[in-house]
Chain A
Amino acid sequence: MLTINNLHVKLEAEDKVILKGVDLVIEPGTVHAIMGPNGSGKSTLSYVLSGRDGYEVTDGSATLDGADILEMEPEERAAAGLFLAFQYPVEIPGVGNMTFLRTAVNAQRKARGQEEMSAADFLKVIREKAKTLQIDADMLKRPVNVGFSGGEKKRNEILQMAMLEPKMCILDETDSGLDVDAMKLVSDGVNALRDAGRSFLVITHYQRLLDHIKPDVVHIMADGRIIKSGGPELALEVEQNGYADLLAAAEAV
């Protein structure tokens, strides 16, 4: 599904190198988690993959089902099936949530050569999906993320994911700012989307989210590289011992 090979990235503005050779292969239907200390490059990885401005890829590659995504515009990556759930979803006053989602769904369908979804069909689908995420009609009508609580914003991200049906989902610290109940709700939303053709990359600081969204593989990222990969037990190890031992071991190599 997603193959990242020796990815090097620097900030365009400051000439600061953030990613220093990331290698990652995500198979279809699997859930990978990335943990790591602040500043290790986790969020940068998600931004570079989704096409945010301000980063320069100096070496390496990233492909989605064989297609080079780094050459694509953000909207082309989305149409190719990549989705990033933002750590800080952006507020867009004056644009209704529903209008925004319908525009996005139909833009992607158009880009893939599919027919646009009718207003009636769209309404039916979104109502159903919103219900399971406990998103009420009012939240669908309100301007995108404006006045939403932290939990509502994250649920709204998952709703977008459910409507857009991407094949590669990246969740950037989706658990930040969530209380226990909201985390359960969001995780249930994510788990409902798990299937053989869809993969997830979950970026988090805390093992707690991974109790709800069970990963197949856990990676530890530090200083712009993945320094260790393992099973779910790796997340527990971090939770108990912190990153110090892992970082020291990586230094020693």
Chain B
Amino acid sequence: MARADLKLDATEARIATLDLPKGGTWITAARSDALARLRAMGLPARRDEYWRYTRPETLTQADAPAAALFDSKEPQVFDTVDRLRIVFVDGVFDAAASDDLTLAGVEIERLETAAQADIHWAKDLYGVLETRGQTPVDRPLAALNSAYATDGVLIRVTGHAPKPISLIYTHKSEASDAILHHVVRLEKGAEMTLLENGPAAARFNKVLEVEVADGARFHHIRAQGRDHERRAATHIFARLGAESQFKSFTLTVNGVLTRNEAVIEMTGDDAVAHIAGAAMGDGAFHHDDTVFVTHDALRCESRQVYKKVLRNGAVGVFQGKILVKEGAQKTDGYQISQSLLLDGDSQFLAKPELEIYADDVACSHGSTSGAIDMDALYYLRSRGVPKKDATDLLVLSFLAEAVEEIEDEDLRDEIVSRLTGWLARRGG
């Protein structure tokens, strides 16, 4: 059988295990469109250009591989942060565990509720930003998500959110297979911080669509961890208006398979988009960052900063692209992807891409793999810092450029304390 047929068979096999959720007119249309997109492209397979370094099988197969629950006495990240908590257990909103969903300048609604309406503001975004992100690279798992997501939140920000909105995921069933879809719309001049953390499910497919209107500012800090057997495919689709800001940072520790895709489209002049990731993997760890930033306006600035620390056979992947469209003059694009390999068993695979159709732009990119700097290690040890601690300091030093992308000092300290804790729990 031809490869294309095999792919379609696999797609149909997966679809057969899912039910299209019921809902009102707007979402039913969005879901059936998404299903058509998915059928047209088929689920990812090994030979697809953007799946060469990451095996998609466990993300696409009909049933989710079981994942053991992670037991930790450590307090969860962001616990000390004053925030509005929205809790999902195995992909289902938990009202009792969540805070009251009212916040000045913000409308928060559960997807399941909004889906019952016949018209909704999210109609212009749900599956719409995802669709825009399907060209020129297929992202079938995101189309699957738009079709089958049963839960999520829709957030509309009209003012300055007085505190962060925090999505907290909890994993309670070893076989849970969760699909969540969130939509965030920041109106002109609005500002908010979105936090995400926690193990969501044995298998997790999440899409976050974010519209940042002119002059609005969106901050996103995410911590993926506490579930060693996690298999996750996440997508962020963002569209940026003039003079808007988008800043997203992701900390990833452990997890057998994590694929984080980000598709950012800069459509208004003078917009700023920074996306960063710090990942630490030990042993059975495969972490893939696939990023696509499109400049389609004047004087926009984008930064991609990805750092990975790998040991004991861990694998890191980075596929990052900057596309500068015709007319996007004075673009300032930057991309760096680096790995720190703590032993000879670990692996980092990087595919940086630049595609530029404007003649007055500054774009730079770099990718490196290296070991601990022996001179720096000796310097620290000569000051009395034991080898293990000195190595940990150098790991933090390596990750610093990514972590410093978090603007808020308290949140940055919170992430650093997680990194420090993770390192401290590991032997030398």
Contacts and interface: CB of A to CB of B under 8 A. Distances in A.
B400 A93 contact: yes
B401 A111 contact: no
B382 A92 contact: no
Contacts of B390: 75
Nearest to A109: B384
Interface stretch (A99-107, A202-210, A245-253): A99-107
Contact of B375 (A50, A77, A90): A90
B13 interface: no
A111 B393 contact: no
19 contacts: A51-B381, A52-B378, A73-B386, A78-B381, A84-B382, A86-B382, A89-B379, A90-B376, A92-B393, A92-B394, A92-B397, A93-B397, A93-B401, A100-B393, A104-B384, A107-B383, A107-B384, A107-B385, A107-B386
Contacts of A93: 397, 400-401
Given A50-B382, A92-B380, A73 B396 contact: no
Interface string A229-249: 000000000000000000000
Given A100-B393, A103-B393, A92 B376 contact: yes
Which 8 A-B pairs have CB atoms at the shortest separation, nearest pair first?
A94-B400, A78-B384, A74-B381, A108-B384, A94-B397, A104-B383, A90-B379, A75-B381
Given A100-B383, A107-B384, 9 more contacts: A50-B382, A51-B382, A89-B379, A90-B379, A94-B398, A107-B386, A107-B389, A160-B383, A164-B384
Interface string A167-180: 00000000000000
A141 B393 CA distance: 16
A201 B380 CA distance: 21
B374 interface: yes
Main secondary structure on chain B at its contact with chain A? Answer: helix
Nearest to B404: A94
A95 interface: yes
A78 B383 contact: yes
A53 interface: yes
A52 B382 CA distance: 8
B385 A94 contact: no
B387 interface: yes
A143 B376 CA distance: 13
B338 to A, nearest CB: 12
A160 B383 CA distance: 8
Interface of B: 373-376, 378-387, 389-390, 393-394, 396-401, 403-404
Q: Which of B374, B375, B383, B401 has the most CB of A within 10 A?
A: B383
B378 A94 contact: no
A92 B373 CA distance: 10
Contacts of A52: 378, 382
A13 B259 CA distance: 42
B250 to A, nearest CB: 18
A50 B378 CA distance: 9
B203 to A, nearest CB: 35
Contacts of A90: 373, 375-376, 378-379
B381 A73 contact: yes
A111 B384 contact: yes
A79 interface: yes
Q: Which of B382, B387, B393 has the most CB of A within 10 A?
A: B382
Interface size class on chain A is 20 to 34
Contacts of A50: 382
B100 to A, nearest CB: 38
Contacts of A77: 382
Contact of B384 (A79, A86, A92): A79
Given A53-B378, A90-B379, A92-B376, A75 B386 contact: yes
Interface string A69-90: 0000111011100011010011
A74 B389 contact: no
Nearest to A88: B375
Interface string A158-199: 001000100000000000000000000000000000000000
A74 B378 contact: yes
B396 A94 contact: yes
A103 B391 CA distance: 13
B379 A92 contact: yes
Contact of A95 (B373, B381, B396): B396
Q: Which of B379, B393, B394, B403 has the most CB of A within 10 A?
A: B379
Q: Which of B375, B399, B404 has the most CB of A within 10 A?
A: B375
Contacts of A95: 393-394, 396-397, 400
A75 B374 contact: no
Contacts of A51: 378, 381-382
A53 B384 contact: no
Nearest to B402: A94
A160 B396 CA distance: 21
Nearest to B395: A94
Contacts of A103: 385, 389, 393
Contacts of B382: 50-52, 74-75, 77-78, 83-84, 86
A107 B392 CA distance: 14
A73 B397 contact: no
A11 to B, nearest CB: 15
Nearest to A112: B384
